[in-house]
Structure 1
Amino acid sequence: MREENELSGSRGEANFVWRCKNCKMAPKPYEQTEPPKQQTVIEFDCRGLEFTAFSPEGEWLADGIDSGTKFEGIEFQDGEWFDYDEKANDEVSIKDLKWDIKRA
């Protein structure tokens, strides 16, 4: 018999759910490039486990590229985020999120 666990903030279930007590540390910032390039933003040491999926749940932070405006509490509903930067007088967004899980 396999044990099923609910995933917080999701309707799905998983066989194993783990929360890292040290995950309050900040991931490496993703630097805006044109064209966008793949960058490492977080690394996990999963001894005895295989990391198979990632979901950008929780609240994220961003800085306006030109204005330096701080955006907090970003949640990626449907993998996207849109807001308005008052200092830049322009719409800001994060969209088309993609990620790879690579073994070191």
Structure 2
Amino acid sequence: MDSAPLKGGRGSATMVQKCKLCSRENSIDILSQTIKPYNAEDSEQFKTIVEFECRGLEPVDFQPQAGFAAEGAESGTPFNDINLLEKDWNDYDEKTKESVGIYEVTHKFVKC
């Protein structure tokens, strides 16, 4: 994850945006130490997979795209560079001779 410097040498953040009206600098930083996998056992339930530090901005939507990875639950087959832009993905696991997939990706943000 790339980070951008904050004004005045106050560190950096994953996303920095300047308000066009007041010129205030706002930021969202992905707290990389909080990133957790979402496993088959977590299926059909919400689980915290990442935390953000938000200053002046608040996330309201999540658009998954490319770069996700999965592993066959029974076979251990790696599936890399999964694109979830359409919130669904499927493939075929040669080891188990079964179709595998990720379906109906949903999300919610919880304020701490």
Aligned pair in 2 of structure 1 residues 85, 44: CA closer, same or farther (>3 Å)? same
Give identity over the alignment, percent.
33
TM-score (norm 2): 0.65
Matches within 5 A, 1:1-104: 18=15, 25=32, 27-33=35-41, 36-104=44-112
Contact 2:77 2:93 in 1 (8 A): yes
Question: Structure 2: how far apart are the matches of 1:43 and 1:103?
Answer: 10
Point out 4+ residue stretches in structure 1 off by more than 2 angstroms: 33-36
What is the alpha-carbon root mean square deviation over aligned residues?
2.4
Task: Give ranges in structure 1 of 5+ residues lacking alignment.
Answer: 1-17
**Higher Cα Rg, which structure:** 2
| Alpha-carbon distance, 1:38 to partner | 1.2
| Alpha-carbon distance, 1:99 to partner | 0.5
Question: Structure 1: how far apart are the matches of 2:42 and 2:60?
Answer: 29
2:47 is matched by which residue type in structure 1? Answer: Q
Structure whose residues are more often strand by fraction? 2
